[in-house]
Structure 1
Amino acid sequence: MAHVSELISTDIEEYLKAHENKGLLRFITCGSVDDGKSTLIGRLLYESKMLFEDQLSAIEADSKKYGTQGDEIDFALLVDGLAAEREQGITIDVAYRFFSTDRRKFIVADTPGHEQYTRNMVTGASTADAAILMVDARKGILTQTRRHSYLMSLIGIRHIVVAINKMDLVGYSQDTYNAIIAEYSAFARELGLEDVTYIPMSAFKGDNIVNHGDNMPWYQGTTLMSYLESVEVDDERLQRGPFRMPVQWVNRPNLDFRGFAGTIASGVIKPGDAVRVQPSGKTSTVARIVTHNGDLGQAVAGQSITLTLADEIDISRGDVISAVNAPAQTADQFDANIVWMHEEPMLPGRPYLMKIGTRTVTAQISAIKHQLNINTLEKQPARQLELNAIGECNLSLDRAIAFDAYKDNQDTGGFILIDRLTNNTVGAGMLNFALRRSQNIHMQHLDVDKAVRAAAKRQKPCVLWFTGLSGAGKSTIANLVEKKLHAMGHHTYLLDGDNVRHGLNKDLGFTDADRVENIRRVAEVAKLMVDAGLIVITAFISPFRSERRMARDLFGEGEFIEVFIDTPLQVAEQRDPKGLYKKARRGDLKNFTGVDSAYEAPDNAEVKIDTVTTSQEAAADHLVNLLTMNNLG
């Protein structure tokens, strides 16, 4: 008995070792609603023997309750886990499933078919090596088929199976199959999709899933399972690319060891290889490749390692270690495709956090070149991107980063955008190329700097940033503050909202997008004036926290003082010095803050003035005293 037990134990160990060493393929299923995506995945799980008896029993019961195929098993119910999906017979969320065969392990993402869930489909496709595009043989190529095909080309999925499903419902017609191939092939050429495989099948009946069956003798191509077991995965392709490793962590456990940890995004590395650190451009050679299990003689794409270098050079988290003879590019302005994934629209000029690899920077969409109609592939003008919209944009960062074009390396060319206030992921993007001007524009050193200019004026420059509703009293108090400072001999400048819109910003309206750009320009002008040594006072509604945060980030410590003129809406509306509230209430003035456009009150303003209990004169005196004590020297 002991001998038998040892044999069984040995067999199990060998099985687990073989399972551990199998390659992994990540793929998605996509297509229009009710094309059979979930049914196909359920069939794959069933055919690969990945279901337990209790799961089969549960799915048989659910098939009787929800299914529409009589007494047969409805495999879609294995995947459609949400109650809403089962009741509607559609897929809403992205459902991930794992299964395995003797040759390979698989992770499959079943992505939703409805247009309003485009962001879900993009999420599921972002890590996929291959895609199965489902086409209902009865319906042929639909709008959603084209939409998902474009998204696959955008995301960079290289291997596509067009699964012409439900062939059993068209009598297994070869003519139907050939007509769909002809139509889709022409469309695929427009998108530049090159590796496309066509398989006629019935996910419900099992034809051409694992075995060919007897229903389509005219088809002699691969079965779906054979294709999935043999198609090249991205890890294999990436090993042939130039070496890239974003630095995730600088490992310094003691004074004798300094290593740089990360996951290799592409290429192969060996001790002695020359590398370049970016964006700094400094070079060195690899001394050791360190892992938990000891040093390696070679490491490849997908491995997590720690590199030590022959030279002591400055490297931080977010830097990219590249092959010295094929380095990544560096830039701070880009052409990029962006998929917007949030209910609040993307507004040009608004600052977002951008996470690319292991680096996080501040980014602004400086211009939307066009928005793509993914139903027709038509390029359309747009001033903002709404939920699920896709646009080609100019992207501006607050510093240079190392990158590759997304088509060449998804790890060093793909990014997400994060709302700086809520930490929500609001967009996903793909870098196409650096804008030429970013390579040609450099900061010019000036001998006369801010400190010299401030010393000449004998004051500490800063900006008083007034914010509050229209009618709150911002301009009146700001004017009083400037008069008092001027009388004291200080050098000042007042940027007033109405005055600026007569010149610098006369091309802007009052939409949310225009308000964002209005504040961006004013903040940049205020920064220049502070650099000139002035005390700058701004009086703008500046309704959005995000833009006020953007303005604050342009200035040094203690140079930005936010002054919240806290006047309740009903009080401001009673004052209505310019009659604007009355116009807005009549509908004659659109996008008016407090009426049909939001005002986001500051959370932590340095100064808060209640104009109901405090006179304007007293408010101005308080601000001048504050500046005198803390800022004017």
Structure 2
Amino acid sequence: MPITTPPTGGAPADTALLRFALAGSVDDGKSTLAGRLLYGSASVLADQLAAIGAAPGGGGPDLALLTDGLRAEREQGITIDVAYRYFGTPRRRFVMADTPGHVEYTRNTVTGASTADLVVILVDVRNGVVAQTRRHAAVAALLRTPHVVLAVNKMDLVDYDEGAFARVAREFTGLARALGIPETTAIPLSALLGDQVVTPSERLSWYDGPALLHHLESVPAAPEPAGAPARFPVQYVIRPHTAAPRGRRGYAGRIAAGTLRVGDRVTVLPSGSTTTVSGIDALGVPVERASAPQSVTLLLADEVDVARGDLIVPAGQEPPLTRTLEVTACHLHERPLCRGDRVLVKHTTRTVRALVADIPARRGPSLLDEEPAPDRIDAGGIGRVVLHTAEPLAPDAYRDSRRTGSLLLIDPDDGSTLTACMAGPGPVYRAGPAGTRTAPDDEEEETL
């Protein structure tokens, strides 16, 4: 899997909303890069610039403070929380997540990258690929992020040397290949001075690709897998005596995957009842078909028992119902997740009681190896977890659908979010040369 240079032009921009996350080690310049993107896209007001003050040493505003909004972040000089910023250009709209770089906040990086179509992994060209770079690449691979950009920062500190950039790019290539990352694009830049961030830089004339912002404007938004079966989690039942469309009972929700059409034969899970879609209303207007991620109201031909949390799917394309789930889990809470814990499992709009039956393995500090039978996963840790649920659930494999393959574990006592989970097959790492770890090919993957 070679690292690519993005095209310089020709293809029109993909105008769909792009969600992307910035990740990298402490002091690699993530917040400065985030601020430079906001500043360069004219998304910062004059009073905001005046409020943040000048950068150390002068020479302009301290752009890092546009996203480091917490007082503790300003005092410590590091990003702690995930900072979301919304901006746009004439070509596209963006949701940007500036994630923490410190190892203690890797779980925050998971949160920021969980909904991202693209992850920008920032490295200091002088340091190359370090431990935290490997962790962030592993997180991007684990979350099946469709696009990864390697942003080689601080090129001004090595006199814009092409060889220094190439060395870092080659090192990251091997890591990305081992992790199974499908697409990686490398871009040299200087976030502090603005080289190759918003506009091309003459000081990087040897690089023939576009600036980072241009690449973000043109990269395709992540589509649903071709031919993905429809998945409709029921969020709300609209009864005839309220505001039901056409005076009939309707089922409101957001299509999580695929397409539904009037006349489709469907199954309601977990009951297994079958019926036909007799109507679809989108914003009160009858339509013949609707696709993810539209929010619609379905009308069914028969009076079947449907409640919030049920899943409506095409007949013959039902995901298997199960009360035993094997998942990859990233633990987010300060309190560790332990074998024997009682939790709530939330899948789409359905929430059921469950028991943490087993924790067969957890990832080591690099996230590239596994430690067997740990019995617990601490905050920020990632591992394999077996859940026994009180009622059946029907998740898809996460690699087939990020929406219907994801679950949350919730504390049943106070409702706090404990753990983010991904259902279905995932890579099992084996020892490589010199104690490294490599991911197997897809055909060698086994169910977690």
**2:95 is aligned with 1:107:** yes
Aligned residue-pair number:
408
**Of 385, 392, 406, which residue of structure 1 is paired with 2:377?**
385
Q: d(CA) in 2 for partners of 1:429 and 1:83?
A: 31
Q: d(CA) in 2 for partners of 1:141 and 1:98?
A: 29
Q: List runs of 5+ in structure 1 lacking aligned partners.
A: 1-20, 435-633
Structure having the higher helix fraction is 1
Report what 1:72 is aligned to.
60
Q: d(CA) in 1 for partners of 2:365 and 2:266?
A: 41
Which structure's relative contact order is higher, taking Cα pairs within 8 Å and 6+ residues apart?
A: 2
Deviation at 1:325, TM superposition (A): 3.9
**Of 199, 202, 205, which residue of structure 1 is paired with 2:187?**
199
Q: d(CA) in 1 for partners of 2:204 and 2:148?
A: 22
**Of 106, 121, 136, which residue of structure 2 is paired with 1:133?**
121
**Of 215, 232, 243, which residue of structure 1 is paired with 2:230?**
243
Q: d(CA) in 1 for partners of 2:29 and 2:47?
A: 24
**Of 392, 401, 406, which residue of structure 2 is paired with 1:409?**
401
Q: More displaced, 169-178 or 67-76?
A: 67-76
The one-letter amino acid of 1:414's match is S
**2:23 is aligned with 1:30:** yes
Distance 1:295 1:374, change over 3 A: farther
**Of 399, 403, 424, which residue of structure 2 is paired with 1:432?**
424
Q: d(CA) in 1 for partners of 2:392 and 2:152?
A: 46
Moved over 3 A (4+): none
**Of 310, 314, 336, which residue of structure 1 is paired with 2:327?**
336
Give secondary structure in 2 for the equivalent of 1:430. strand
* Paired residues for 1:174-573 under 5 Å: 174-234=162-222, 236-237=223-224, 240-254=227-241, 256-375=247-366, 377-381=368-372, 382-432=374-424
Contact 1:29 1:131 in 2 (8 A): yes
Contact 1:239 1:266 in 2 (8 A): no
Deviation at 1:238, TM superposition (A): 5.4
Distance 1:370 1:161, change over 3 A: same
Q: d(CA) in 2 for partners of 1:297 and 1:204?
A: 52
**2:28 is aligned with 1:40:** no
The one-letter amino acid of 1:246's match is P
Q: d(CA) in 2 for partners of 1:148 and 1:260?
A: 40
Deviation at 1:180, TM superposition (A): 0.8
**Of 107, 130, 135, which residue of structure 2 is paired with 1:142?**
130
Q: d(CA) in 2 for partners of 1:156 and 1:265?
A: 17
Q: When the two structures are superposed, what TM-score results if normalisation uses the length of structure 2? A: 0.87
Give secondary structure in 1 for the equivalent of 2:187. strand
Distance 1:97 1:263, change over 3 A: same
Larger Rg over CA atoms: 1
Distance 1:214 1:184, change over 3 A: same
Distance 1:198 1:35, change over 3 A: same
Q: d(CA) in 2 for partners of 1:243 and 1:158?
A: 21
Give secondary structure in 2 for the equivalent of 1:128. coil
Contact 2:367 2:382 in 1 (8 A): no
Distance 1:102 1:238, change over 3 A: farther
Contact 1:27 1:108 in 2 (8 A): yes
Structure having the higher strand fraction is 2
* Identity across the alignment (%): 45
Q: d(CA) in 1 for partners of 2:278 and 2:219?
A: 36
Give secondary structure in 2 for the equivalent of 1:237. coil
**Alignment deviations for residues 561-606 of structure 1 (CA, whole Å, 9 cap, x no partner):** xxxxxxxxxxxxxxxxxxxxxxxxxxxxxxxxxxxxxxxxxxxxxx
Contact 1:238 1:265 in 2 (8 A): no
The one-letter amino acid of 1:194's match is P
Q: List runs of 5+ in structure 2 lacking aligned partners.
A: 1-13, 427-448
Q: d(CA) in 1 for partners of 2:412 and 2:157?
A: 51
Q: d(CA) in 1 for partners of 2:147 and 2:37?
A: 19
Contact 2:399 2:425 in 1 (8 A): no
The one-letter amino acid of 1:180's match is V
The one-letter amino acid of 2:33's match is L
Deviation at 1:291, TM superposition (A): 2.9
**Alignment deviations for residues 501-533 of structure 1 (CA, whole Å, 9 cap, x no partner):** xxxxxxxxxxxxxxxxxxxxxxxxxxxxxxxxx
Distance 1:86 1:388, change over 3 A: same
**2:179 is aligned with 1:159:** no
